[in-house]
Structure 1
Amino acid sequence: MSAADFLRPENWLGSGEGPRYVQLRRRLIEGIESGALPPNSSLPPEREIAELTELSRVTVRKAIQGLVREGLIEQRQGSGSFVREAVTRMEQSLSHLTSFTEDMARRGMETTSTWLERGVFMASAEEIAAFGLAAGDNVARISRLREAGGRPMALERAALPLDILPNPIEVTTSLYEVLDRLGNRPVRAVQKISAINLEAREAALLGVAEGAAGLSIARTSYLATGRVAELTHSLYRGDAYDFVAELRL
Structure 2
Amino acid sequence: MLPNGKTNLIALDLGIHGDPIKALERIVQIAKSGVDDHVVARELIALSDGRAETRPVLGMFLGGAGLADSILYCRNQIYPLGLSNGLSHFLTAIAVLVSLLFGIRARFLPPSSNPVRISLIRDGELAGRFSVLIVTTLEKLLLGTRTGESQRGNMKLMAVDQSLSALLRLGWASLFRRMGKTKMQGIHLEQGDTIRIEGDHSSVILDGELFEASEGHPIVLRSTQPVPFLRLAA
**TM-score (ref. length: structure 2):** 0.24
**TM-score (ref. length: structure 1):** 0.23
Larger radius of gyration: 1
Q: RCO (CA 8 Å, sep 6+): is it higher in 1 or 2?
A: 2
